[in-house]
Amino acid sequence: MDTKYGGYMGKVLKIDLTTREISHYPFSDKERELFIGGKIMAAKILGDNLTGKETPFSHENMLVITTGPLTGTGAPSSSRFNISGLSPLTGLLASSNCGGSFGYFLKKAGYDGLILQGRSEEHIRIEIKNDRVSILNADDLWGLRTSEAQSRLPERTGNIVIGPAGENLVKYACICSQERVAGRAGLGALMGWMNLKAVTVSGNKTVSVHHQVKNKELNKKWFSRLRKHPLTGHVLPRMGTANLLSLMQMRGLLATRNFARGQFEEYEKVNGELLARQYNIVNKGCLSCPIRCARTVSVDGKEVKGPELETLCLLGAGILNNNLELVLRWNYELDELGMDTISAASTLAYAMEACEKGLWNNGLKFGETEEISRLWEDIAHRRGIGDELAEGSRWLSDKYGGKEFAINTKGMELSAYEPRRAVGQGLGYAVSNRGGCHLNGGYAVFLEGLGLAINPQTKHGKPDLTVMLQNLLEMLSATGQCLFISYAMFPGPLIKNPNSFYVKAVNAILPYLGGGVRVMNKFPLALQLHLPVFPETKSFEYVTGMKMRFGQYMRAGERGYTLERSINNRFGVDADADTLPERLTQTPQIENDKKTVVPLSIMKSVYYKARGWNEKGIPTVKTLKKLRLEGSQNGNG
Amino acid sequence: MVTVKLFGLVSLDSGILSMQVEARSVREVIEKVASTGKADKIALRKSTIFVDGKRAMPGTKIRDGHEVVFFSPAGGG
């Protein structure tokens, strides 16, 4: 073994596609202690290799695929893997997370990570079986849609593939793995640029676990707890993520008509209840996941993956489409072509509004849906206006104007939560390392009206809560687990009885605990304990043998988030990049209600202080030292 | 008459999307919806409730023309 720790395989495979050189990338136990796995491990690798001068489509960029230590150990919802690299969409560090089984198979082959770099002269696919790596011609796969391409790959392997969109360098092309998708930030285009259609991986190695018996006992209880929890055991299995849409409507959070409004009059024609009642055939889940949040629907007589919440919202309310069957069809088509549904939908919404305002005569109109299937094809193959739509909303607004309604941050389109009615989520979108992402932003909207109901308009406490949530989700992702299991942190009664005095008190007090949360964020190591509601830390200890109390867990998340920020700083990100389109900060969502904007600048400055960053949004030397990231601001981390 | 709408699992379990009832308070609405035998009274009482888009409680008074909406717990994203 190349590591003393359980949960790790101890090797990171590196393949240079230009030279076809195959090697092992050094990653020490000391680095495992600090950078854990998943997106944080990937950031460490990229941070050690990127100076800030590289461009996404260059030989210096890397596609770094990483697993977490809990993957393959029987921990619940732990089969996720991460793909990172410089994003073709944003030009910045991006990470995209995916379910399915690729991560599990990568570990079975004996690797914690896979680094791909360079560019092949011919179309290729890679087959990894234990120590054997084969680089094979893929002319027969090139041009195929994602499901057809996957069907021609060896069976009983984990695989990732791109579709035509990735091949044609659509800036928001995704990477598919079975029915799951690493959707965001356009890393499929990086694979396309590499001339790499697919990777398959298999092996017969075993993931070692430090405390096998204790781990098994813990997992048994943990699975049981998740199955009993109102969200992970009932709502998500039965309704999937789409269950949130109607509540978003009621709270004014449903991004409608390119984020001009927060409510869609016809939401009942495209909501999660209708999806569950009329279209869902069966729910599916990733390996080792008791939640099983994925939907299966029928399109043209085929059973295919149903839409997630974001897709449902943005391809419905976002473009004023009231036909749920069209959303099911488009979701399927976008997966087949290999495009991120969020960025595709939001770029389309921008184009519709630009046309309406006379900025770009493209023939697209809100509510007109007849030609949209053809448009997806045109984008994926870069035909007609599809060639420009393939560049994303930031590029289009640079060319045609209308930046105030090009709904992106750092070049990546926002997901479906309208932040003017959940201002903490607005802050999260703005400062998120990978651009307009609700999860990387901290997902404060869950506290602001969807799970709990703290005042969504107040700025009090939001920066500190955002820091805490971001650090928590960062680490959860790095271990290989799905973020949804964090719902079980919230005791059932807090979720099940929103009208009780206890819940009302929590909602009222939480925003004013900012000071307390800040102390916890600043001194997490004081929390040398395992929280009863958070088995993640015990699980980590039983699997790896490392000490990981709640405080260390939060500190590791903070380290990861700050490292990503530091890398982005090298590429020019500072406070000016942490922004939102003017529509969301200047125009009240409710006319004459000035509170319904995102008070970004004031929250941002509190956020920077809470993170130990200077007023320009750059981590101070003291902060970097505290996090053991010395030198990371200039590429020597 | 008030319009009652159910969302989330409380809707799926009861099979009720929408109905009209005569009532002067949310509590009365809960009684009437539960009396159909389809919806669970406790689930309704513990729902997140809105009257004409504003957050309400079981004791909230209502009048004709109001829309009363019940949401069971939600999560995802």
Q: Could you read off the pLDDT of A568-623 as tens digits, one per residue? A: 999 999 999 999 999 999 999 999 999 999 999 999 999 999 999 999 999 999 99
A276/B12 CB distance under 8 A: yes
Q: Could you read off the pLDDT of A256-268 as tens digits, one per residue? A: 999 999 999 999 9
Sequence length of chain B is 77
In one-letter notation, the amino acid at residue A302 is K
In one-letter notation, the amino acid at residue A51 is T
Does A287 have pLDDT greater than 70? yes
Q: Could you read off the pLDDT of A511-523 as tens digits, one per residue? A: 998 789 999 999 9
Question: Edge-to-edge, what's the strand order for the sheet holding A124-129?
Answer: A132-137, A124-129, A196-202, A158-161, A175-177, A180-182
B55/A453 CB distance under 8 A: yes
Angstroms from B49 CA to nearest CA on chain A: 9
| Residue A628 CB contacts under 8 Å (≥ 6 apart), including other chains | A34, A559
**Which residues from A are below 8 Å from B57, CB to CB?**
499
Cβ pair A336, A164 in contact under 8 A = no
A246/B48 CB distance under 8 A: no
Cβ pair A321, A349 in contact under 8 A = no
Question: Coil, strand or helix: which one is A402?
Answer: coil
Instruction: Name the architecture of domain A422-634.
Output: Orthogonal Bundle (1.10)
pLDDT at position B76:
81
- In A, minimum Cα distance to B46 occurs at A497
Angstroms from B38 CA to nearest CA on chain A: 16
Mean pLDDT for the stretch of residues A314-322: 98
The full set of domains in chain B, from first to last, is: 2-71 (3.10.20.30)
Q: Structural domain boundaries of chain A? A: 12-202, 240-413, 422-634
- In B, minimum Cα distance to A440 occurs at B77
| Core vs surface per residue A111-122: b (16+ CB within 10 A) or e | bbbbbbbbebee
Tell me how many residue pairs between chain A and chain B have CB atoms under 8 A apart.
Answer: 93
Q: What is the mean pLDDT of chain A?
A: 96
pTM of the predicted model over 0.90: yes
- Residue from the list B48, B72, B77 with its beta carbon closest to the beta carbon of A443: B77
What is the homologous superfamily of the domain A12-202 according to CATH? Aldehyde ferredoxin oxidoreductase, N-terminal domain (3.60.9.10)
* DSSP alpha helix (H) spans, A501-549: 501-509, 514-522, 536-544
- Calculate what percentage of chain A has a pLDDT beyond 90: 97
Cβ pair A83, A175 in contact under 8 A = yes
**Which residues from B are below 8 Å from A453, CB to CB?**
48, 55
- Residue from the list A276, A438, A498 with its beta carbon closest to the beta carbon of B48: A498
| Core vs surface per residue A587-623: b (16+ CB within 10 A) or e | bebeeeeeebbbbbeebbebbbebbbbeeebbbeeeb
How far is B65 from A333, CA to CA, in rounded Å? 43
Q: Which fold does the domain A240-413 belong to in CATH?
A: 1.10.569
B46/A496 CB distance under 8 A: yes
How far is A566 from A612, CA to CA, in rounded Å? 12
Phi, psi of A550 (to 5 degrees): -55, -40
Q: Could you read off the pLDDT of A450-508 as tens digits, one per residue? A: 999 999 999 999 999 999 999 999 999 999 999 999 999 999 999 999 999 999 999 99
Q: Does B27 touch chain A (CB under 8 A)?
A: no
How far is A138 from A428, CA to CA, in rounded Å? 41
How far is A170 from A174, CA to CA, in rounded Å? 9
How far is A18 from A509, CA to CA, in rounded Å? 57
B12/A238 CB distance under 8 A: yes
How far is A452 from A263, CA to CA, in rounded Å? 20
ipTM of this model?
Answer: 0.97
Q: Does B7 touch chain A (CB under 8 A)?
A: yes
| Core vs surface per residue A10-33: b (16+ CB within 10 A) or e | bbbbbbbbeeeeeeebebeeeebb
Mean pLDDT for the stretch of residues A297-326: 97
What is the band of A637 on the pLDDT scale with cuts at 50, 70, 90? Answer: very low
